[in-house]
């Protein structure tokens, strides 16, 4: 397994990891919360379910997307390993 220099950039250039300050992290967190709230509210209105059920539907959708990404990554990594 080859390790590229860009994979180790956090070792040699730690300031690149610390670029976001407190307010940048906080704004990013608020943006995520608003996006999740919009998604859950939309699911709640479309399916006519309670907010609690809408949250579980949303988490299920995220789980399916994550599992699909994992399967695609595993299939593509085998192809990369076969080439080298």
Q: What are the extents of the domains in the chain?
A: 5-83
- Is 0.75 surpassed by the pTM of this model? no
Grade residue 42 by pLDDT with cuts at 50, 70 and 90: very high
Each residue's pLDDT tens digit, 7-24: 555 555 555 555 567 888
pLDDT at 13: 53
> Does residue 30 contact residue 23 with C-beta atoms inside 8 Å?
no
Distance between CA atoms of residues 84 and 67, nearest Å: 26
> Does residue 61 contact residue 46 with C-beta atoms inside 8 Å?
no
Give the mean model confidence (pLDDT) for residues 40-67: 96
């Amino acid at each position: 397994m080859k390790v590229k220099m860009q994979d180790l950039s956090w070792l040699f250039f730690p300031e690149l990891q610390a670029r976001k300050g407190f307010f940048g992290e906080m704004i990013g967190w608020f943006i995520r919360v608003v996006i999740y709230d919009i998604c859950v509210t939309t699911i709640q209105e479309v399916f006519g379910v309670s907010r609690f059920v809408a949250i579980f539907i949303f988490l299920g959708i995220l789980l399916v997307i994550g599992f699909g990404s994992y399967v695609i990554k595993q299939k593509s990594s085998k192809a990369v390993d076969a080439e080298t």
